[in-house]
């Protein structure tokens, strides 16, 4: 353990910064007697978090938000890869369809979220659609850029071998674009959590976003902080899982650029 800490001193430094920040926060709240409805002490947040986990309240809502985020992410990943591949392969499609997709992306998602809730209902379907809408564009842009960022010599070699468009795409273009694709997926999986929360803010009966609204109405700020911690853990865990998958699939390369919305 100590050997690992010496090899990675930033881990120990990060832990010290976290502990120091929490202790400072606790001291400020206690010394200045800050009201709990303004800034609860870390001990109160920890007590709320532990109580919510024991009662399965946080676990139930956590599962709902996680499902909405993952379902939206899978839809965004599949559609972004397919549409991005088509756009990169056919210039006519790029010139006719891509501007509309960019225009759709410029719309604030919080502005169209109420419409999506009206169209798809107050159940999880609308939250999945919002999550997919938020996560779609990072995947699309990275796929397009990745497929276009390729050595011209490789394409010339495939033409000299009389390879079909599909063979060139499958053997050269898509493998070359994988680092960009995973960069987009890494951004999208975090954005999907944001989209799910936005949908739950607009209208929902379950989920961590709905729980935040309930705690705000009752001025249970410690509960709000506890839910925010749950959301942070969800986002970090999904990010780490995506990075682990990336290292297993494209172990020979690392993404050079991340193009996000």
- Spell out the domain ranges in the chain: 1-34, 49-249
For 41, residues 6+ apart whose C-beta sits below 8 A from its C-beta are 25, 26, 29, 30
Give CA–CA dist 85/144, Å, rounded.
Answer: 7
Q: Are 131 and 77 in contact (CB under 8 A)?
A: no
Give CA–CA dist 92/102, Å, rounded.
Answer: 16
Residue 257 — very low, low, confident or very high, per pLDDT cuts 50/70/90?
very low
3-state SS, residue 107: coil
91: Cα within 13 Å, side-chain hemisphere: 0
pLDDT on residue 261: 46
Per CATH, which fold does 49-249 belong to?
MetI-like fold (1.10.3720)
Q: Are 102 and 160 in contact (CB under 8 A)?
A: no
Q: Is the whole-model pTM more than 0.75? A: yes
Q: Are 12 and 5 in contact (CB under 8 A)?
A: yes
Give CA–CA dist 200/218, Å, rounded.
Answer: 18
For 76, residues 6+ apart whose C-beta sits below 8 A from its C-beta are 131, 132, 133, 134, 135, 136, 139, 188, 192
Q: Are 241 and 193 in contact (CB under 8 A)?
A: no
- pLDDT tens-digit readout, 196-236: 999 999 888 889 999 999 999 988 999 999 999 999 999 99
Of 111, 77, 15, give the one whose Cα is nearest residue 238.
77
Of 207, 205, 245, give the one whose Cα is nearest residue 67.
207
- pLDDT tens-digit readout, 85-118: 999 988 888 888 888 888 888 888 888 888 998 8
DSSP 8-class letter at 225: H
Residue located via tokens 């499609």: 93
- pLDDT tens-digit readout, 30-46: 888 888 788 888 999 99
Backbone angles phi, psi at 161, to 5 degrees: -85, 5
Residue located via tokens 């709240």: 29
Angle 145-150-155 from CA coordinates, rounded to 5°: 130
For 42, residues 6+ apart whose C-beta sits below 8 A from its C-beta are 22, 25, 26, 29
């Amino acid at each position: 353990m100590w050997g690992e800490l010496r090899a990675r001193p930033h881990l120990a430094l990060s832990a010290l910064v976290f502990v120091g920040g929490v202790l400072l926060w606790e001291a400020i709240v206690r010394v200045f007697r800050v009201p709990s409805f303004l800034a609860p002490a870390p001990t109160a947040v920890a007590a709320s978090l532990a109580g919510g986990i024991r009662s399965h309240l946080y676990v139930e809502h956590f599962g709902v938000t996680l499902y909405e985020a993952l379902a939206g992410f899978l839809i965004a990943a599949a559609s972004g890869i397919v549409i991005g591949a088509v756009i990169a392969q056919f210039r006519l499609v790029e010139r006719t369809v891509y501007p509309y997709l960019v225009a759709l992306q410029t719309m604030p998602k919080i502005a169209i979220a109420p419409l999506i809730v009206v169209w798809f209902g107050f159940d999880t379907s609308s939250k999945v659609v919002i999550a997919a809408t938020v996560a779609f564009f990072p995947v699309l842009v990275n796929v397009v850029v990745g497929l276009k960022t390729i050595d011209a010599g490789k394409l010339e070699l495939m033409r000299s071998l009389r390879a079909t468009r599909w063979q060139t795409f499958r053997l050269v273009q898509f493998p070359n674009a994988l680092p960009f694709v995973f960069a987009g997926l890494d951004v999208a999986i975090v954005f999907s959590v944001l989209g799910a929360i936005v949908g739950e803010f607009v209208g929902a009966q379950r989920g961590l976003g709905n729980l935040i609204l309930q705690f705000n109405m009752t001025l249970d700020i410690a509960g709000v902080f506890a839910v925010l911690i749950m959301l942070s853990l969800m986002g970090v865990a999904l990010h780490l899982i995506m990075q682990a998958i990336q290292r297993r699939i494209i172990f020979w390369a690392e993404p050079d650029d991340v193009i996000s919305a």
